[in-house]
Amino acid sequence: MKEEELILDTLDELNIPYETISHPPAFTVTELKSFCEFNASVCKNLFLYDKRADKHYLVVMLEDKKAHSNTIRKQVKAASLVFGAEEKLYELLGVTPGSVSPLGLIYDKNKELTLLIDEDIPKHERLGFHPNINTSTVIISYNDFKKFINWRGNAYQFISVTKDNTLE
Per-residue pLDDT at 167 exceeds 50: no
The CA distance from 69 to 140, in Å, is 28
6-52 pLDDT tens trace: 999 999 999 999 999 988 888 877 777 778 788 889 899 999 999 98
For position 16, what pLDDT does the model report? 98
Q: For residues 34-56, b (16+ Cβ closer than 10 Å) or e, as one string?
A: eeeebebbbbbbbbbbbeeeebb
pLDDT band at residue 164, thresholds of 50, 70 and 90? Answer: low
For position 151, what pLDDT does the model report? 97
Cα Rg of the chain, angstroms: 15
How many CB atoms are located within 10 Å of the residue 82 CB? 11
Please compute the mean of the pLDDT values over residues 113-127 and round it to a whole number. Answer: 96
53-77 pLDDT tens trace: 999 999 999 988 888 888 899 999 9
Q: Which amino acid is it at 12? A: D
pTM of the model: 0.90
CA atoms within 13 A on the CB side of 22: 1
For position 166, what pLDDT does the model report? 46
Parallel, antiparallel or unpaired: strands 156-159 and 19-22? unpaired
101-117 pLDDT tens trace: 999 999 999 999 999 99
2-9 long-range Cβ contacts below 8 angstroms, 24+ apart: 2/133, 3/94, 3/95, 3/99, 3/131, 3/132, 3/133, 4/131, 4/132, 4/133, 4/136, 4/138, 6/106, 6/132, 7/101, 7/103, 7/104, 7/106, 7/131, 7/132, 7/138, 8/131, 8/138
Domains of the chain in start order, with CATH, are 5-163 (3.90.960.10)
